[in-house]
Amino acid sequence: NAGVTQTPKFRILKIGQSMTLQCTQDMNHNYMYWYRQDPGMGLKLIYYSVGAGITDKGEVPNGYNVSRSTTEDFPLRLELAAPSQTSVYFCASSYGLAGTNTGELFFGEGSRLTVL
């Protein structure tokens, strides 16, 4: 049972570089989320998606982009990396039909990103 899989687990970027964090889930969940967690803090919502083809901004979307072409995949793109984007990124998914999101999140193991 893979659940939610994130790659890469670790990455070091230089300022101004771009990269994509991959997230895939095999539970056929409609809802997917990207969060960032700074040291000793809770999670901040970056973007979320309620289904294929639909994405929406969360609390801290600036500097990031997402797409949702399939139910399984929800990649997060950083276009011009900045030191402020150094963080641990978590992808999560939840079950629910339209309008009945359980809110119960299943998380990946996280991707630790450092921007130097």
Pick from 73, 82, 21, 75: nearest CA to 51: 73
Near other proteins in 71-100, by CB under 8 A: 90, 92, 94
Among candidate residues 61, 79, 82, the one with its CA nearest the CA of residue 21: 79
From 45, 67, 75, 95, residue interacting with other proteins (rule: CB under 8 A): 45
31 part of the interface to other proteins, by CB under 8 A: yes
Candidate residues 2, 14, 62, 103; the one interacting with other proteins per rule CB under 8 A: 103
| Spatial contact of 101 and 93, defined as CB atoms under 8 Å apart | no
Residue 16 CA, distance from chain mean position: 20
Binding-site ranges for other proteins (CB under 8 A): 4, 31, 33, 35, 40-45, 48, 50, 56, 58-59, 90, 92, 94, 101-110
